[in-house]
Amino acid sequence: MNAVPRNLAVLADALARAGPDGRGALWQLAERGRELDANLVRLPPGAEVGEHQEDTLDVLLVVLAGSGLIVTGETALPLAPTTVTWLPRTSRRSVAAGPEGLAYLTVHRRRPGLTIASAPPGARVREAEGGEAPCALDRVCPECGRLAEGRAPKFCAECGERLGGR
């Protein structure tokens, strides 16, 4: 069976539907059998995705609207519409929106899904290694844009907003 290309979204329409107050992940690639993940993200003016590191995946970030900075240690890379930035795996970075906010698309290889398996009685089970979700979108507060810390945060420590439907 051959796969058939098709249009999945018009990102300008997704941004318009979200309205000026829409923030966080506004669209995600969700097709079955895909080998990529993609997210349309909007940060409000002055919001940040705190410093984080993706140890497994390279990420491509494409700015669609607004402005901002990617801060990597002592370097600040400017972001403006049509800027394409490569975020290599193991790089530490934070993203800050400018005065008009920031809308961008991230694209990366898909992580394999989680599986649940039982171990035989008495078997020693080694805890699986893992990293944070790509771009840490599930930990970005939809209200203030702050990156929540901790293993499985449910609420933003800054403003108290519930995170990502947890």
Q: How many CB atoms lie within 10 A of CB 43?
A: 22
| pLDDT of res. 133 | 45
Q: Is the pLDDT of residue 113 over 80?
A: no
Q: What six digits make up the tokens of 114? A: 């989680």
Is 104 within a domain?
A: yes
Task: Identify any residues that bridge with 76 across adjacent strands, giving them in sequence order.
Answer: 71
Structural domain boundaries, residue 75? 12-111
State pLDDT tens for residues 19-70: 888 888 899 988 888 889 999 999 999 999 999 888 889 999 999 999 999 9
Report the CATH number that the domain containing residue 46 is assigned in CATH.
2.60.120.10
Is 34 within a domain?
A: yes
Whether pTM exceeds 0.75: no
C-alpha distances in Å from residue 78, one per residue of 55, 72, 125, 132: 23, 11, 45, 25
State pLDDT tens for residues 119-150: 566 655 444 444 444 556 667 777 667 777 76
Is 120 within a domain?
A: no
Is 152 within a domain?
A: no
Is 143 within a domain?
A: no
For the chain, the domain total comes to 1
Is 146 within a domain?
A: no
Is 165 within a domain?
A: no
Task: Identify any residues that bridge with 62 across adjacent strands, giving them in sequence order.
Answer: 84, 105
Is 38 within a domain?
A: yes
Which amino acid would we find at residue 55?
Answer: D
- pLDDT range class, residue 87, cuts 50, 70, 90: very high
